[in-house]
Every structure is written in C-alpha cells, then in structure tokens.
C-alpha cells in the first residue's frame, strides 16, 4: 500500500463513518483576550491540531520524520497540512508512524467529525489517552493495544467474519455504491474462483460480502 500525505490514504481494515453520522467536533484552544480575566474556547486550527498530534507522538519518542499525517488538504513544505484552505469534501484524517521501540508500522484513522482539524485533534486526544495507560503501569496493555493499529491489512482468521468493505477492498471509499461493489466483486472473483485455481474459502467469503453489501446498499 502506498501511503501519501495528500490525498487521504485510509488504512486497510478501518471502516469509514457514514457522512450522515458525522458530528460537530468540540476540540478547541483556550485563549485569553486583552482586557478579559477569563479564557474563551476558540476553534482549533489545522496547524494547532497538527502540532498537538505531533507533540503527542513525540512524547512516545516518535520522530517527526517517521510520521505521515494523511488528509485531503494541501501540504506545507514540511509535508504536513497547510492551514487557511477550503475544507475538503472528505474530512477524514489518518496518521502513520514507525514504532520507535520495535520498528513496526502503526496507523490510526478518524473521520467522525465534519472538519479535518477536528479529526486530527481527535487523533491526538486518542493517543494521549492511550499514553495514560503506560503512565499507570500498563506498558504491556499499551503494546497490545497499539498492535491493533499495525499499518497492515488485517489477517484472515478462521471463524472471524470480516466487514464486507474490507473483503471487497472498498474500505477507502467514503460512500461505496452498488456499482462499486459489483465491479470489485467481478475483479476479485476472477482471482478467487476455484475454476481458475482460486481459493474456495476466499470465494465463499467474497460471495457473502457481495450479498451483504448489496442488501445494505439497495434496501
């Protein structure tokens, strides 16, 4: 998988959020204006959210050169999102980094909120919460948790049902259509069909994924 800072590279195995379920984020920055005795909460900017995320990763000893923040935003010269630009249609954000202790690739993605900066800030907040596990003596728990964020396709485990978007390779699409499902099915069936030397188990999984997808999309 080729990972790019822009456009958005969505990690394999991560389900996209239905746009109808997007929420307005509430991550902000507290600022005290001149002449006021209190600080007001203002919207966080793209630059501030990015800095917050990089700072959290840095606290885990992750070097900035080992981080890719992937969005649909235009980039600064340093490869991170540029502020003061039009909001993209897809506000999702994904972060990829190399584990500083074992060198394993990690990834995390969020598209719950309507603005990119809110999703970036949510990534930072999630990593901050996971770091708290380590501070309270849960280093092994933290390692097991981050193992779930390996930047690799999820393995096929016997008896475990995979999401149809993952089976059909459509997890990167924000709103896959029935036409997308049929096209992906035709492409994969040519490789998985037993009559062509494919794997019967994979073909059965592909058939089930197609049926489930069309049932969901055409209801």
Given this model, what pLDDT does residue 155 score?
Answer: 44
Q: Show the CA angle centred on residue 205, arms to residues 199 and 211, nearest 5°.
A: 135
CB 111 within 8 A of CB 92: yes
The span from the CA of 143 to the CA of 145, in Å, is: 5
The dihedral built from the CA positions of residue 96, 99, 103 and 108, taken in this order, carries a sign that is negative
Q: What is the pLDDT of residues 22-57, one digit of tens each?
A: 999 999 887 655 555 554 568 899 999 999 999 999
Given this model, what pLDDT does residue 104 score?
Answer: 82
What average pLDDT does the chain have? 83
Please provide the size of the chain in residues: 219
Domain ranges of the chain: 19-147, 164-217
Q: What is the pLDDT of residues 121-161, one digit of tens each?
A: 999 999 998 877 666 665 555 565 565 555 544 444 445 56
The span from the CA of 110 to the CA of 116, in Å, is: 9
The span from the CA of 59 to the CA of 90, in Å, is: 29
Whether pLDDT at 81 is above 50: yes
């Amino acid at each position: 998988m080729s990972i790019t800072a822009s456009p958005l590279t969505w990690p394999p195995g991560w389900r996209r959020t239905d746009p109808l379920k997007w929420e307005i984020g509430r991550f902000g920055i507290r600022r005290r204006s001149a002449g006021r005795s209190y600080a007001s909460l203002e919207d966080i900017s793209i630059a501030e959210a990015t800095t917050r995320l990089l700072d959290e990763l840095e606290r885990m000893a992750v070097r900035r050169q080992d981080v890719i923040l992937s969005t649909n935003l235009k980039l600064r010269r340093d490869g991170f999102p540029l502020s003061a630009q039009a909001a993209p249609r897809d506000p999702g954000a994904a972060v990829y980094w190399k584990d500083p202790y074992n060198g394993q690739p990690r990834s995390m993605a969020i598209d719950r909120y309507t603005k990119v900066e809110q999703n970036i800030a949510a990534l930072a907040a999630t990593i901050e919460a996971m770091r708290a596990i380590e501070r309270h003596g849960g280093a092994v728990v933290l390692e097991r948790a981050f193992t779930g964020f390996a930047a690799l396709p999820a393995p096929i485990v016997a008896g475990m049902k995979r999401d149809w978007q993952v089976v059909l390779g459509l997890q990167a699409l924000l709103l896959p259509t029935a036409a997308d499902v049929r096209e992906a099915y035709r492409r994969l069936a040519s490789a998985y069909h037993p009559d062509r030397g494919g794997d019967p188990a994979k073909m059965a999984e592909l058939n089930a994924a197609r049926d489930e997808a069309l049932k969901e999309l055409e209801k």
